[in-house]
Amino acid sequence: MKLADLGEFGFIDRIKAGVAAGSGVCLGIGDDCAVLDLPPGHQLVTTTDMLIEEIHFRREWTDMADLGRKSVAVNVSDVAAMGGTPHHLYLSLGFPKTFPLEALDSFIKGFLAACRFYQVTLVGGDTCRSPGPFVISVTVEGSVPAGHFVTRGGARPGDAVYASGTLGDSALALHLLAAGKTPDPFLRDRHVNPQARTRLGAALGQGRIPSAMIDLSDGLLADLGHILECSATGALVEEELLPLSPSFRAALRESPELVRLALAGGEDYELLFTVAPEREKDLPAVARQASLPLSRVGRITEPGAGLVVRAADGSTYRPATGGFNHFRG
């Protein structure tokens, strides 16, 4: 079967057939709009992301099912970072007429598997031709109990800075691949199949525990930089405190300079959040509930103190915080 035989509406029907029923979905794919019910007493939280071939991924290096899963993960991760729970997604795709149908099917398979995993429902989207690159745009809607959302702007001096999971695994996998080496299965999976921390984000929001939160897409320092900018504070990060996986520690023993990947490597999709000292006692229960380690990596400091890193040898330095910027240089 080829795309030209299936046609636009045949392709949409194929996607529709794989969508499971979802709570709150009054009307899903197939009309001018989706119609949805939010849980009573909740606010709507929405985010959107675009992924473009040759910029965000290269087809020859990318498994299409992984890309489908990742398209869901990066979006629900943003809802988690607000302390919300994701519910509904919209998927818009642009691809050339000659695009292999198997590649599309594989992408959709991964996308819908991730929807089941995160308990979110695909309720709409758009399908159109592209003159070249494969273009993916995903929007996710979630909800948060009214007033319980967590912004980037609430960190206060003295707050502890926490990260979930382990840091730098995705960047280390990419580093090894770029050097022609083979990352171990754990590292590879962290890179190609990142897990958004949706249960953790919802639990933190529900308990109103963090003063500020963001998800780690651009790297610890760059994303902490966003919190500092929005909160008008400084921070001290301690290399000794960085939560590292056994695979990462093994690599670090051979090449100590790889610590920069835990500080500045992107795409971990862990949550980074700040907590007032009196709320730190509530974290162990949340960590158990989400089955994830939560580790303090530093502390928020006074406005004007900037972002400072204390290296393993006790010396301190001011890192460049610039994350990825699509149009610089």
Instruction: Restricting to residues 65-84, name those near a copy of itself by CB under 8 A.
Output: 78-79, 81-82, 84
Q: Of 18, 59, 92, 296, which one interacts with a copy of itself (CB under 8 A)?
A: 92
* 259 lies in the site for a copy of itself, by CB under 8 A: no
CA distance 257 to 26: 53
Bridge partners for 309 per DSSP = 237, 317
263 neighbors 271 (Cβ within 8 angstroms):
no
For residues 260-279, which are near a copy of itself according to CB under 8 A?
none
**Footprint of a copy of itself on residues 286-325 (CB under 8 A)?**
325
Tell me, what amino acid is at 31? D
Which single residue is written with the structure tokens 């040759």? 54
Among the listed residues 113, 177, 230, 276, the single contact to a copy of itself using CB under 8 A: 230
Closer CB to a copy of itself, 133 or 207, in the complex: 133
180-199: contacts with a copy of itself (CB under 8 A): none
Verify binding: residue 135, a copy of itself, rule CB under 8 A: yes
Q: Residues 123, 160, 187, 251: which binds a copy of itself (CB under 8 A)?
A: 123
Measure the CA–CA gap between 103 and 308, rounded to whole angstroms.
45
Of 26-45, binders to a copy of itself (CB under 8 A) are: 26-27, 30-38, 43-45
Length of the chain, in residues = 329
Nearest CA among 136, 86, 108, 118 for reference residue 19: 108
Distances from the Cα of 142 to the Cα of 138, 169, 328, angstroms: 13, 28, 32
Burial 136-158 (b: 16+ CB within 10 A, else e): bbbbbbbbbbeebbbbbebbeee
Supply the minimum distance, in Å, between the C-beta of residue 155 and a copy of itself: 13
Contact status: 50 vs a copy of itself (CB under 8 A): yes
- Taking CB under 8 A as the criterion, the residue among 17, 21, 131, 181 binding a copy of itself is 131
CB of 259 to a copy of itself, least distance (A): 26
Query: Is 242 a binder of a copy of itself (CB under 8 A)?
Result: no
Q: How far apart are CA 313 and CA 65, in angstroms?
A: 43
Please report how close the Cβ of residue 217 comes to a copy of itself at its closest, in angstroms.
9
How many residues bind a copy of itself (CB under 8 A)? The answer is 73
- Residue type for 12, please? I
- Residue closer to a copy of itself by CB (options 171, 271) is 271
Report if residue 48 touches a copy of itself, rule: CB under 8 A: yes
3-state DSSP assignment of residue 58? coil
